[in-house]
Structure 1
Amino acid sequence: MSTLHPSRAAVGGHHTITAAALLATYMQSVNISVPNAALPHIQATLSMANDEVGWVFSSYIAASAVSMSITQWLAARYGRRTIYQTALAIFALGLVLDTLATTSIQFVLARIVQGAASGPFAPLSLAILLEVTPAARHARMSLAWTVCSLLGISTGPAIGGWLAEYYGWPSIFYFSLPMVAFIFPTMRSLLSEKRAERSKPFDFFGLVTFSVGMIGLQMLLDRGERLEWFASTESWVEAGASVLGFYLFIVHVLTTREHFLRTVLFRDRNLILSTVISFALGFVLLPTLALTSPMLEELLNYPVDTTGYMTIPRGMALVGALVLTSLVPAQVDYRPFLLGGMALVVYANWLMLGYSPAMDWRPVVEAGFLQGAGLGMLLPTLARAAFGTLDTKLRPEGSALISLSRLYGSTIGIAVVQLFFYANTQAMHIALAKHLTPLRVAANTVGSIGKPGLAALNGMVTRQAATIAVIDQFEILMFAMLVVMPLVFFLRRPRPSG
């Protein structure tokens, strides 16, 4: 790497550039979940169908995952400061486009722009933080970077709910503009430009085929129910694109030497098992939020700001458990902590199976707190498991693989729970409504039932069916973690380290 001018960060801006990099990490993650509690307002304004809600999250995450994969190549070729500033400018454009959207399609496209621009923030911010920090403090700085990322996801619903309730839902995106206004000039004035003398060729074919496979699968899961699956030409096209994309990617991996994720990574057992577990962790992390907020707002009639506040204990437990687990000495076997974290997540999801329309806020807060504690234990322990046996030269690529698996786990998880939620709601509505025969209704009512009464009765049935369907999705999330628990016993013991 060649430096175009001396690092001005080292002269006097160390603390400022550290704050900017951490703030960018927070901004990237908070925008994943900030629309969560505000969804009723967004749906009402944009006439967004229920089965389109998942795209509010998955479009941002999927676009971020794709751009994150190519960040290091872009930074090496065009310069990290150039890429960072370009990403910030496009991200600000995406924020403005979010607020200007008048249809659900426009809003999703704006979220794609915003997500694609956010992809470089996390990897470049971490690289900058490690560069301006002495080697002895790298572990502490990496922990701070992780905490900022999780704080963003955890505080997003509370911030979004409060802003949407009192200032309108566009304000949840204006919230990030002052952060962009601070980060952009800071990076421009303090960050030294670096690019490689000779940038390595990037495996665009591998990235494109893998992305086509994932996006085709995502769209099939998101839109299949509405289009009656393979009765629609679109579903066939999406399924065909997914199969072709994954087929070409597998053939490409087996027949070429260099890939955007090197094959040598897949020879490390701990890394592969940790990647699978990380996928399951992502499958639980965001889909729980995607289910809980609509349940509280639409079925239990909580205001959107209160819904956001009820996610705070989960976030506090997640960050607190992560920090405490990170303090465990490296010589201690990490596998009991993995099992403990998984057990907490499973138990929390089991408690969610007891949700009912008659409950108050306490069961939601209790289950969320326990799930957050379990996820907080898993995140640092998974990193130790993944990198404990991996060559240090491969750690940047291994970290990218773990991050991608968690991101794609979240997008697929959101698609799966949304799919089964609406399918189960319809099935339960039919099952409950078939018992409402004229004789049964007449036996419990006085006088005849008019259209308003029938509409109210149908609303009650729909409400009960949706409640049962939501609870069923928490069961899916519970089993997703149960399935990967046995993998812990196949992890190698950590190497002794100095």
Structure 2
Amino acid sequence: MNAHAQTSADPGRAHSLRLAVLLATYMQSANLPLPNAVLRLIQGTLSMTDDQAGWIFTAYLAASAITLPIAQWLAGRLGLKLVYQAALAVFVLGLLLATVATTPLQFIAARIIQGLASGVLAPLSMAIAMETLAPEKRMKFGATWTAIVLLGIVSGPSIGGWIAEHFDWRPIFYISLPLSAYIFLVVALLLAEKKPEEAPSFDFFGFGSFTLALIGLQMLLDRGERLDWFDSPEIRIEALACGLGLYLLMVHVLTSKTHFLNKRLFRDRNFVLSTLIFFAVGFVLLSTMALTSPMLDEILGYPPDTTGALTIPRGIGLVGAFVLMGWVPERFDRRLFVAAGVALVIFANGLMLDYSPLMDWSPVAVAGAIQGIGIGLLMPALTKVAFSTLDPALRAEGTGLFNLSRVYGSTLGVAIVQIFFFNNTQAMHLALAANVTPYRAAAHGGTASMSLPALEGLNHMITHQAAFIAVIGQFKILLVAMLVVSPLVVFLRKPIPAN
């Protein structure tokens, strides 16, 4: 008897399994941005530099991007239940290591472990849930699963900020421990082990080439600023690894019959264009959060709970619009909603360019809510457009690539805005400080000499102004990213209505 037959005979078991895997989905997505509102506390405790703080997000994302493609193969070879429980155990190990970390490298290693497990948990949670549902209900549940992922991403910072404000930053990882124990117990008791009759095949050469390129590029972006880019032998080696991985992957895709990325996917115009737009959505969403929370926390001095709470309007807008899209009749052309979503995200990012050190919290809440509504409209409509014209036989592979584009868009987005943020902060600091001279001070009634505390205060003020200007510059990058992909909407074909 297969898993679907078992759970169909016992609706209570099916419901409990779906609840458990939805909790796992929420947990792994919420842990990605969980430290976002408490970066200042983590940096202070671990003596972490500003460039290392960006690794908190990119390490988790890049690690999950590596294991995401191989999750289904592992489940097919070793058993779905065994692999899922092992991933939960590894995720808990990462949580515990994060709470006891005393150095930046230890903390980043813990985040990598969490990310590796997350990349397995996400697709297998979906697979387990689908096994408990009748085929006609699976499409609708897919929207629910995506909504849970988004809810985790947008609510994580508010949870972390509240806990850190009232306790400390380390307990933010404790809340996932009882959830993990509950999920593990439910899966152990209710999920029957499942292995396919024939062991699945997997394109290890393509996967290895892709992984080599991904790791090389990520290390280049994360380490380049610290090591002065291509003046460093390490950065040159990482660039070479990235180029070699991309070259081997492209040759493999073009010359092999079976490979990591099915060439037939790239013959569907809607799928290709939608994947590019989805990449930009990932580039913008998490990068915006990675910029906004430090701006509020470190530059404007908001407490962690307030910083986290200001992510709530984005979450309400995003999840609310996403849910409402499920009620839109099929006869409405989803391309209109894609265009509306892109326009709203661009408008919201334009509002972020007007942020000021003198503002209160309301511009952040308004811009976040509008961006959330835009993405909430865009994601389900884009998914419909992408898969309505795709050959059903390619949908499983297409779903993996489609979701991977968002994950890696987020990884690159966070890394790129971090690079430009530090470069622009330094440049603006030099530009502002160049105008502070003893002669200018004397001309304005000051003195040519200043005490050490006064100089420290002046430098602190200049640094904050430079950092704020740099943040606005990064919001401009995110705006440009959406503007670049916006013309692609025009070339989308009308989706084929569901039967």
TM bin, normalised by shorter chain, reads: over 0.9
Task: Give the structure 1 partner of residue 429 of structure 2.
Answer: 429
Secondary structure class of the residue paired with 1:313: helix
Task: Give the structure 1 partner of residue 480 of structure 2.
Answer: 479
1:252 and 2:264 correspond: no
Instruction: Work out whether residues 6 and 192 of structure 1, in 8 Å CA contact, stay in contact via their aligned partners in 2.
Output: no
Task: Compare 107-116 and 216-225 and name the one that shifted more.
Answer: 216-225
TM-score using structure 2 length: 0.97
Distance 1:431 1:446, change over 3 A: closer
Task: Give the structure 2 partner of residue 463 of structure 1.
Answer: 464
Residue-by-residue CA offset, 1:447-479 (whole Å, 9 max, x unaligned): 441111111111111111111000000000001
The amino acid that maps onto 2:65 is: A
Task: Give the structure 2 partner of residue 68 of structure 1.
Answer: 68
Instruction: Work out whether residues 68 and 119 of structure 1, in 8 Å CA contact, stay in contact via their aligned partners in 2.
Output: yes
1:3 deviation in Å? 4.4
Instruction: Work out whether residues 3 and 132 of structure 2, in 8 Å CA contact, stay in contact via their aligned partners in 1.
Output: no
Task: Compare 134-143 and 161-170 and name the one that shifted more.
Answer: 134-143
Secondary structure class of the residue paired with 1:159: helix
Q: Give, in whole Å, the separation in 1 of the partners of 2:256 and 2:136.
A: 39
Task: Give the structure 2 partner of residue 451 of structure 1.
Answer: 452
Show the 5 A alignment for 1:39-78. Answer: 39-78=39-78
1:249 deviation in Å? 0.9
Task: Give the structure 2 partner of residue 37 of structure 1.
Answer: 37
Secondary structure class of the residue paired with 1:120: helix
Task: Give the structure 1 partner of residue 378 of structure 2.
Answer: 378
Task: Compare 272-281 and 447-456 and name the one that shifted more.
Answer: 447-456
1:190 and 2:190 correspond: yes
Task: Give the structure 1 partner of residue 175 of structure 2.
Answer: 175
1:347 deviation in Å? 0.6
Instruction: Work out whether residues 5 and 193 of structure 1, in 8 Å CA contact, stay in contact via their aligned partners in 2.
Output: no
Distance 1:4 1:20, change over 3 A: closer
Task: Give the structure 1 partner of residue 334 of structure 2.
Answer: 334
1:319 deviation in Å? 0.2
Task: Give the structure 1 partner of residue 6 of structure 2.
Answer: 7
Give % identity. Answer: 57
Task: Give the structure 1 partner of residue 217 of structure 2.
Answer: 217
Q: Give, in whole Å, the separation in 1 of the partners of 2:429 and 2:135.
A: 60
State the aligned residue count: 497
The amino acid that maps onto 2:471 is: V
The amino acid that maps onto 1:411 is: T
1:488 and 2:496 correspond: no
1:6 deviation in Å? 7.1
Residue-by-residue CA offset, 1:132-180 (whole Å, 9 max, x unaligned): 1233332332222111111100110000011112121111111100110
1:29 deviation in Å? 0.3
What is the CA RMSD across the aligned residues, in angstroms? 1.5
Q: Give, in whole Å, the separation in 1 of the partners of 2:7 and 2:289.
A: 41
Residue-by-residue CA offset, 1:370-413 (whole Å, 9 max, x unaligned): 01111111110110111010011211111111110000000000
Task: Give the structure 2 partner of residue 364 of structure 1.
Answer: 364
Instruction: Work out whether residues 349 and 367 of structure 2, in 8 Å CA contact, stay in contact via their aligned partners in 1.
Output: yes
Distance 1:10 1:308, change over 3 A: farther
The amino acid that maps onto 1:244 is: L
1:201 and 2:172 correspond: no
Instruction: Work out whether residues 9 and 17 of structure 1, in 8 Å CA contact, stay in contact via their aligned partners in 2.
Output: no
Task: Give the structure 2 partner of residue 80 of structure 1.
Answer: 80
1:243 and 2:243 correspond: yes
Secondary structure class of the residue paired with 1:356: coil
Residue-by-residue CA offset, 1:21-64 (whole Å, 9 max, x unaligned): 11011011001111111111111111111001111011111111
Q: Give, in whole Å, the separation in 1 of the partners of 2:169 and 2:34.
A: 10
Instruction: Work out whether residues 3 and 193 of structure 1, in 8 Å CA contact, stay in contact via their aligned partners in 2.
Output: no
Question: 5+ unaligned residues in a row in structure 2: which ranges?
Answer: none
Q: Give, in whole Å, the separation in 2 of the partners of 1:7 and 1:189.
A: 13
Instruction: Work out whether residues 97 and 110 of structure 2, in 8 Å CA contact, stay in contact via their aligned partners in 1.
Output: yes
Distance 1:349 1:6, change over 3 A: closer
Instruction: Work out whether residues 317 and 376 of structure 1, in 8 Å CA contact, stay in contact via their aligned partners in 2.
Output: yes
1:5 deviation in Å? 11
Q: Give, in whole Å, the separation in 2 of the partners of 1:387 and 1:192.
A: 31
Distance 1:98 1:9, change over 3 A: farther
Question: 5+ unaligned residues in a row in structure 1: which ranges?
Answer: none
Distance 1:6 1:129, change over 3 A: closer
The amino acid that maps onto 1:416 is: I
Distance 1:141 1:299, change over 3 A: same
Distance 1:80 1:153, change over 3 A: same
Show the 5 A alignment for 1:97-112. Answer: 97-112=97-112
Q: Give, in whole Å, the separation in 1 of the partners of 2:255 and 2:275.
A: 23
Q: Give, in whole Å, the separation in 1 of the partners of 2:377 and 2:5.
A: 40
The amino acid that maps onto 1:7 is: Q
Residue-by-residue CA offset, 1:422-460 (whole Å, 9 max, x unaligned): 100111111111111221122335444111111111111
Q: Give, in whole Å, the separation in 2 of the partners of 1:9 and 1:134.
A: 8
Secondary structure class of the residue paired with 1:390: coil
1:10 deviation in Å? 3.9
